Amino acid sequence: MSEGIPRGRLILIEGLDRTGKSTQCTILSNKLPQCELIKFPDRTTSIGKEINSYLTDLKYELPDQSIHLLFSANRWERNEYIKDSLKMGKNIVMDRYVYSGVAYSAAKNIPGMDLDWCYSCDKGLVRPDMTFFLMNQKSNDNREGFGDERYETNQFQEKVRGQFYRLFNKLGDQCDEVVQIDVTGCSIDEVSNHIWKYVTMMDETTMSQELKTFQ
């Protein structure tokens, strides 16, 4: 930790596909001082490019276990950078992270790829100070771009939703910082104002200077 510099805040926005996550991440990152937006998967790295090929090309075949480990490896390759940036006082907003990685893989219902196995790969990664989970009670069929990638079907998204809740319940106290927001029928401004209300309640003077990790 740089002497005299309070560490930055790590804020995650999660949710199902096409719930407005990326829009809200951009808005929040623009509001926070000295802030960087990091999206997962990070498709700029070598591992991220492999993931991008898998997500966008339905003919690209990989074992489900392999793609899960690639998603986790993609988070691990950014872990030290994230920790160092926070210690230097930079704020970071993340678009997807551990929760998505685990929920999407567990939703496939592959033997041997249960919630515990999927989560075990991410133990030790730095944990967000606050997570916003965006929910939409309506179908995503009419959202622009929905269906362009491998996991974008309403049936699969409902399975993912269930795994998110199972994971939140499993982690218990580690999920005290999760704020669930129902975005159904809400405008972009309404959602962003709701998020900002919670963010402004994060007191830098009482927030622990020590970075927590997933256990």
94, 39 in Cβ contact below 8 A? yes
User: What's the pLDDT at 74?
Assistant: 98
Distance CA 42, CA 34 (A): 20
Q: What is the CATH number of the domain that holds 166?
A: 3.40.50.300
Q: Is residue 208 part of a domain?
A: no
Distance CA 63, CA 78 (A): 24
User: What's the pLDDT at 2?
Assistant: 56
Tens digits of residue pLDDT in 173-213? 777 789 999 999 999 999 999 999 999 988 765 577 889 99
Tally of domains within the chain:
1
H or E stretch covering 182: strand 178-182
User: What's the pLDDT at 202?
Assistant: 83
Tens digits of residue pLDDT in 22-78? 999 999 999 999 999 999 999 999 999 999 999 999 899 999 999 999 999 999 999
Q: pTM of the predicted model, to two decimals?
A: 0.90
For residues 9, 135, 155, 161, the Cα torsion angle rounded to the nearest 10 degrees is 50
Q: Is residue 67 part of a domain?
A: yes
Angle of CA points 163, 82, 39, to nearest 5°: 50
Rounded to 10°, the helix 64-76/98-106 angle is 180
User: What's the pLDDT at 155?
Assistant: 87
Q: Is residue 70 part of a domain?
A: yes
Q: Is residue 1 part of a domain?
A: no
Average pLDDT over residues 9-21: 93
Tens digits of residue pLDDT in 103-159? 999 999 999 999 999 999 999 999 999 999 999 887 555 555 555 567 778 889 899
Q: Is residue 121 part of a domain?
A: yes
Q: Is residue 118 part of a domain?
A: yes
199, 24 in Cβ contact below 8 A? no
Q: Is residue 168 part of a domain?
A: yes
Q: Is residue 4 part of a domain?
A: no
Domain with 160, as residue range(s), is 10-199
Helices (H) and strands (E) in the chain, counts: 8, 5
User: What's the pLDDT at 93?
Assistant: 98
